[in-house]
A and B are shown apart, each in its own frame.
Chain A
């Protein structure tokens, strides 16, 4: 199991487009991904779940990946957040 704390860096937060990107990326891996925010826990491969977090700019998320390729998964998701999902 790999855990990682991550900060939302794009100004618009996790609205529909970034969520779709995140979910599509996560779905390419075999590992499970759980995203936690303020005591809410959602499946990182479920778009409605991730959107429901309504994670705003500057908020903190915890990623928990579990499976054979968990490190790669976390790395790529982290890169997405770092690149601000291609926004700003």
Chain B
């Protein structure tokens, strides 16, 4: 389970969200375990059943002014009851300040309070996006990610089968590379986003040559930081006794982070030009997106011809 340290959150987002820390710096050691936001209006009113205290609690003008209507004793008790739950973080919007009791208790009970100068709406929409991306399901896998005619293609296959060489060939043809060897896949909404696992740059290893810098060699237009993964191409060593897809009437899928990712199993033999086939996979994917399935159209036409002949035969027999 991924966790987000309040400190890391503050350090990476304090510019974007215009943050400043209200409580003692040691409270920043708390960690956030849920990627959602809660507005604790009901908790402030004393209702603590089903309180989603593990989430970031956002206090807007409404909550702050509500607290001001309570008597100091009542406010103290309410906040104390609320803070019995180990809440990781409060964010107060519009640069508002929190009541003194709240700040005092937060320091006592180790709950972080951060202030943001953004309006509640802006903060919530920004924060939701940030948390969704941060807590998004992720995995990294062995493969090469390229973008061909705007279609993100994840090339996989055993070591040495020619993934990098294929990517290189695609670069020569004007396509783009995202990452070679290790691909990080992040589920964003219902889309798989592929990127590099680090910011080291666009290097790849070509057997016999060594490490090359793709960005330097082919220019900035040849690389992309990330791309949606539309389809996977698995390179397989050609074996005579394996049934490879011949017509394309059945579409194959693999499960990737719960998404059905189309996959093409591509037999590879020496001297075969894989990059051209990867281009074809991309173009065929585009056609399928536009609702044109070549295999089905061909199949229909073939059936029409066969049926016509069958009819003619039965007529001539009469």
Partner of A28, one of B241, B246, B295, B309: B241
A interface, over-half SS? loop
- A20-B247, A47-B246, A47-B247 known; A12+B303 contact, CB < 8 A: yes
Contacts of A1 in B (CB 8 A): none
Q: Is the CB of A24 within 8 A of B306?
A: no
Q: Mark A40-84, 1 if CB is under 8 A from B, else 0.
A: 000000010001001111110000000000000000000000000
**CA–CA, A27 to B302, complex, Å?**
22
B220-253 at interface with A (beta carbon < 8 Å): 240-241, 243, 246-247, 249
B285-300, CB under 8 A of A: which get 1 and which 0?
0000000000100110
**B-side interface residues, number (CB < 8 Å):** 17
* Smallest CB gap from A30: residue in B: B240
**A16, B295: Cβ atoms closer than 8 Å:** yes
Complexed CA–CA distance, A47 and B244 (Å) = 12
Does A35 sit at the interface, judged by CB under 8 A? Answer: no
Q: How far is the CA of A15 from the CA of B240 in the complex (A)?
A: 24
Contact A20 B305 (CB under 8 A): no
In the complex, besides A15-B306, A16-B249, A57-B313, 9 extra interface pairs with C-beta distance below 8 angstroms are A11-B310, A13-B309, A16-B298, A17-B247, A28-B240, A47-B247, A56-B310, A58-B313, A59-B309
10 A-B pairs closest in CB distance: A13-B306, A56-B309, A16-B299, A54-B305, A56-B310, A56-B306, A47-B246, A20-B246, A57-B310, A16-B247
A12 touches B247 (CB 8 A): no
User: A23 in the interface, Cβ–Cβ < 8 Å?
Assistant: yes
Residues of A within 8 A of B (CB): 11-17, 19-20, 23-24, 27-28, 47, 51, 54-59
Docked complex Cα distance between A47 and B248 (Å) = 12
A59→B200 CA distance, assembly (Å): 65
- Residues of chain A within 8 A (CB-CB) of B247 are 16-17, 19-20, 47
CA distance A20 to B303 in the complex (A): 14
The docked-state distance in angstroms from the alpha carbon of A55 to that of B249 is 19
B310 touches A24 (CB 8 A): no
Q: How far is the CA of A14 from the CA of B302 in the complex (A)?
A: 9
Q: Which of B240, B243, B299, B313 contacts A56 (CB 8 A)?
A: B313
Contact A54 B306 (CB under 8 A): yes
Q: Which residues of B contact A15 (CB under 8 A)?
A: 299, 302-303, 306
Q: Which residues of B contact A16 (CB under 8 A)?
A: 247, 249, 295, 298-299, 302
Separation of A58 and B306 alpha carbons in the complex (Å): 11
Q: Which of chain A's residues has its CB closest to B241's CB? A: A28
Cα(A20)–Cα(B309), bound, Å: 21
- Chain B residues with CB under 8 Å of A11's CB are 310
CA distance A20 to B247 in the complex (A): 7
What is the 8 Å Cβ interface bit string for chain B, positions 159-188, against chain A (1 contact, 0 not)?
000000000000000000000000000000
Task: Look across to chain B and name the residue whose beta carbon is closest to the beta carbon of A13.
Answer: B306
0/1 interface trace, chain B 39-60, chain A, CB 8 Å (1 if under) = 0000000000000000000000
Q: List 7 A-B contacts (CB under 8 A).
A: A11-B310, A19-B247, A54-B309, A56-B310, A57-B306, A57-B310, A59-B309
Please name the residue on chain A nearest to B309 by beta carbon. A56
Closest Cβ of chain A: how far from B304's Cβ, in Å?
A: 9
- Inter-chain contacts of B240 with A (CB < 8 A): 27-28
